[in-house]
Each structure stands twice: as C-alpha cells, then as structure tokens.
Chain A
Amino acid sequence: MTETNTNLSLGPVLYDWSREELLNFYDEVADYPLSIVYIGQVVCPKMAGLTLSDLEKVGKKLEAAGKKVYISSLALVADEMDRKRVQDDAALPFPIECNDPASLQLGKGKELAAGPHITSYNVSTVNFLKSAGISRLIFPVELSIDSMKVVIDECDIKTEAFAYGNLPLAFSWRCYTSRAFGLLKSNCKYDCRKFPEGMLIEDLDRKPLFKLNGTQILSGKCSNLIREVDDLKAIGVDTLRISPQHKVTKEVVNIFSKRLAGEIDADEAMEMLNPLEKIGFCNGWSHGKAGLEFLEGDELADLALE
C-alpha cells in the first residue's frame, strides 16, 4: 500500500464556550496547520455557540484561509428545538458532517460526511453510506486500528480517525450538567458555561472516569494517538482529528503537525503534550483494549509482536 499524505482536521467544539470566545478561537484557527475544520453544534442547541449567521461568516473566513469546512450536526435529535437546528444547519452553504440519520435525510444532494456517531463499523454499512451520498467517514471512536484497516482496504472513501481529545462516549435526553444542579434540561440554567472542559466524574476510589458536558458524556481521560501516528498513516487514514481542548488547541495542533511532518519523533511529541493534559491520556481502543487504558513503551512493543 502506498502511504497516504495524512492531514489534520479540527473537530467541532463540544463544550459550551461563549460566543466571543468561539469567534476569537476561529479567528486563530484560520492560521493553524489544518486541512479541515468542523464547526457547529453537536451536543445541545441550548449551548451558547455561534448563531447561524456567525457560522456562515466563520465558515467563509476559514474557507478563504484555505480550509475545507463542514457543519457538524447534532448527535441526538429528539425534540422540536433539535429538529429545527438540524434543518437550519442543513441549509447552510457548507458540506455536512452527519451525526444522526436526520442529517443524511436533510442533506440529500449535498457533500456529506458520516460523523463519529453514525455506527459505520463495517464494509457493507460504509458501502451503503456511500450510496446515500457519504464521501468521508469519521470512524466511530471505539474502532481499533485493525478494524479501521478493513474498511480502508475495502472501501474507496476518505477516512478520518479521532486522534486527540476527550472521547465522546454517550448522549442522552437528560442534561447531566443540569442534573448536577438539581435541574432538568427543560428548565436548565445554562450551567454548562461554567465547565469549558466538562465536569469531571470520579469513581469511589477517586479515579477520573467520565466528563459530563450537558447531554453528553465524554471520557475522563484525553485520547491521545500521537504514538500511533505512524500506524495510522501506514494503514492509509487520510485525516487525524483533533478535538478542541480549552486553551491548548493551538499547541496540540502544532505538535501533531510537526509529528506528521516527521520534524519530531513520538517521544518528543509526548513530552510536549504531557504538560497540556491535567487528567491523563488513553489510547486503549486503538489497540483493541479498554478505551480508558493507556499503552506505552513495552506494552506497545509487546502488542506489535502479537
């Protein structure tokens, strides 16, 4: 197999950052070494986020800076507000990252990507999705590199792997952040805004487990596939996704960019990433292990021999 010229993308901001912060953030993103930028609301339409006209302006600005722009759609569409949001998003003049079949239906005829929340685990599903208009596939987060390889080898489609950030694990009708304050989603007081990195859950031994982010549950640890970059390139993954992290996204993007270009090795990159993450890293799923595990050094070498 010829090695792919793997590039970088920036996933949608999952947290409830203020509009002002988001506008400033995307002003800077225009200069980041990224090929694709996903913008829009995946978690909850009650999060502040950008307005539809903001999204259009930000998207156009990023396009003018040479980025490919996708609108990421909601992952759970369950009430009228959600439904209106996916309809409005589908009407924006950008390709769509579909995270619910609603967007596949509404985006007919547009350029479409299947987001990480579409359960595209296998060749027959990916081939079906292609027939339904999907031209880019973001792998579900729990797929191993071996499992990704099967799809890459057998389906002619652009692929993308979630390479850095807290993993999106689940969505609910319930707002967990509101629940933590004794409220419901329907009478929420926008408490997500207090948690730009999510609210940490620890188990009874005080080990970090999950992060709550409104109606979403994320991994407590930050997924980090910097040591797997060569493996991901070797199987032909087209794009590595960085999920925006509060205050440190620029550094993370630059480290991955340097690693992809071969300017730094995995150890150097790890050393640079370490101070950026407070809770800890995980990479288990990419090796077929539990998602929360972090395999390094000898463990990775042992796996390679298996």
Chain B
Amino acid sequence: MEDEKIELCCPAGNLPSLKAAIDSGADVVYLGFRNATNARNFEGLNFSNKDIGNGIEYAHKKGKKVYIAINTFPQFHDEKVWFESVDNVVHLGADAAIIANMGILQYAAETYPDLRLHLSVQGSSSNVESLNFYREHFNVKRAVLPRVLTVEEIREIKDEMSDFELEVFGFGGLCINICGRCYLSSYITGVSCNTGGVCSPSSFVSFENEGNELKVSLGSVVLNKYAPGEVTSYPTSCKGRYYFNGEELGYPIEEPSSLNVLEILPQMIGSGADSLKVEGRQRTRSYVSTMTGILRDAIDRYYDDPEGYYVDDKWMEQAAQTMEGMQTTYGSYIQK
C-alpha cells in the first residue's frame, strides 16, 4: 500500500450506516452478521445476509470495500455457525474476513485459500513473534492491533514486518484491557464477551434513583452513582467508579473516555500503519457519517501538506458531540 493514503476503515451496524460511511469518505466499511460470531452482537443491530449483499454492491460500485468480522470464540459444538459465517463471507463476495479464533482461522485458510484474512483485535496479537505466528499458520495478511502499543512500537513492528499490513484504532470506544482476554464483564454477568460477543449486556444494566443520585448497576455490582448534571456513559465494569487502596474513591481502571487521535494523526500515519479504524458498529448512522467525514478531511489535509497539518476546532467540537461530552484520550499511543 505504499505511496497511498492510509486506509479509512469505518463501522456499520446496519445498511443505512454503511451507505453513510461510504458517502462520507470511508475506504472500507466493516460489519458483522446478526449472531454470536459478532463481537458487537447487540440487540436490534447488525446485518441480514441480504443487507450485506446490498451493502457490498453499494460499496463496490463506488470502488470501496467491505470487511466482515467473525470475531468471537465458539464454545461447545457451536463452531458450525462460525464456519458457515466464513462460507457466507465468501459467497457474499466481501473483500476480507476479520477473524479472531485460531480454529476458525484454520478452517478459513484451508477451505478458502483465496479469501483475504485479517486477524481481529480480539485475537490480541501485539508483537512481531505473535503476528508471525498468525501469518505463518493462516496466511493472515493484516492484523488489527490491540490498543496496547505506542506509536513508536507500532513503527518498530512495521519496520520488522514491512510486507504485513497493520490496522490501528483512531477513534471511538476504548478497551483499556487487551481484547479477547478480558473477562471482567463475564465475571459479573456470566455472559462471555469472547463467546457471546457482548460486553456489559444491556439486559444486566439497571438504573435506580437513590436520593438525588442515579445509581447504575451491572448485575449485582454498582458501577457508578451520578450526581445531578454529571455526564453519564454506557456502563462497563472497566469504567466504573470504585473504592481502591482502602478509602480512595475514583476510576482506578479507566475514566469514561474515548479514543481520539486527530491531534496525533501525523504520528499515527508516520507509524506506517496501513489502515485507520473507527470503533463503533453499535453507534448511530449520524455518528458514523460525522466521524467518517472528519477523519476523511483530516487524512486528506495531512497528505495535501504533511507539515502544515492542523486540527480544525470544528472537528473537535463535532467529535465531542458524538461522544456526548466524554473526555478523550490517546490511550497507549503516546505514553504508557
């Protein structure tokens, strides 16, 4: 992908979002099936096969691509559903399958040697040896890197593996723990994020008024109590307010925050990453089109004049609005 712009890879939870992403400047849209093979297996979300077919046709007509994520881990005898989903990726004519689980990767590599395979972020591969393992065994062409590396470390991986593609997250919700090996939500709810595709399932979330505070729980655990006017966010156990080290109270794991690399876009591109990914298949069409549009403008501005790159106030305002006033972070990219 040398001499080309970094790819802009955007999420879609349904067909209107896919079209919005393409129309707003995405190079690629990634999506998932409406079943447990999907790490964003939320109620009322995701694509029927017919919608995927229509979406791929829409994207291909405009010279854009569609990747399909099969990024969870089957248990018991459920692998058949995952294998069939791989079959469907091929039959529907998607441009790549994003897969997390070794058993499913092996099936895909052996059954469809021409299918382009990407390692999902849920595969949690964060170093050259691990990436080589996936490449050697499954002929994986690209990995979505877990959000555990600095920009410098990404560049070092690229230096050692120049012919292997790296996809990095640029915007959206942030897992503070390495994906695919995080059992916090499962510990509290019994619903495995890895096998069922849902972190912090909405059916376990409850809201209760306590005095003038809003108490938010996940299962039997109180994740937060909000004073009137405090900014609330979707409750996940890694972003809860807890007591720690005795009597201290705060956010010992992670504040409710989202990733935003607009200000460090030149470093992100300088890392040699091939694709910049927006998180949020569960988000609205308006989020998808807004964020795709901003990142399209930002990437184009950078390539027009790398030295003169600057961030529009308007971009930051719009991005803040889509994240409902939550604070933003660079995650691990600058300093660990």
Contact = CB atoms under 8 A, between A and B. Distances in A.
Contact of B190 (A101, A171, A181, A289): A289
A82 interface: yes
A146 B77 CA distance: 11
Interface stretch (B221-229, B266-274, B293-301): B221-229
Contacts of A170: 177-178, 181-184, 238
B278 interface: no
A124 B335 contact: no
A291 B187 contact: yes
A122 B132 contact: no
Main secondary structure of the interface of A (DSSP, over half): mixed
A186 B107 CA distance: 40
Contact of B244 (A76, A119, A121, A180): A180
A78 B103 contact: no
A52 to B, nearest CB: 18
B183 A207 contact: no
B189 A167 contact: no
Contact of B186 (A104, A207, A291): A291
A129 B178 contact: no
B73 A121 contact: yes
A123 B107 CA distance: 12
Contacts of B188: 290-292
Interface in B37-56: none
B195 interface: yes
Interface in B4-24: none
B127 A122 contact: no
Given A119-B180, A169-B183, A204 B224 contact: yes
Interface stretch (A58-66, A195-203, A237-245, A268-276): A195-203
A106 interface: yes
B207 to A, nearest CB: 14
Contacts of A209: 221, 237, 242
A122 B182 contact: no
B133 A143 contact: no
B126 A125 contact: no
A200 B187 contact: no
B177 A172 contact: yes
The CB with the most chain A CB atoms within 10 A, among B134, B178, B189, B335, is that of B178
B239 interface: no
Interface string B88-128: 00000000000011111011000000000000000011111
A179 interface: yes
Contacts of B177: 170-172, 217
Interface residues of A, number: 72
Contact of A203 (B133, B134, B150, B223): B223
B75 A204 contact: no
B243 A290 contact: no
Interface in B141-173: 147-150, 153, 156
B321 interface: no
A137 to B, nearest CB: 13
Interface stretch (B27-35, B245-253, B303-311): B245-253
B176 interface: yes
B57 interface: no
Given A150-B76, A170-B177, A204-B225, A142 B186 contact: yes
Interface string A139-163: 0111100110010000000000000
B101 A106 contact: no
A167 B187 CA distance: 9
Contacts of A126: 103
A83 interface: yes
B124 to A, nearest CB: 8
7 contacts: A119-B102, A124-B103, A167-B183, A176-B252, A199-B245, A202-B243, A291-B190
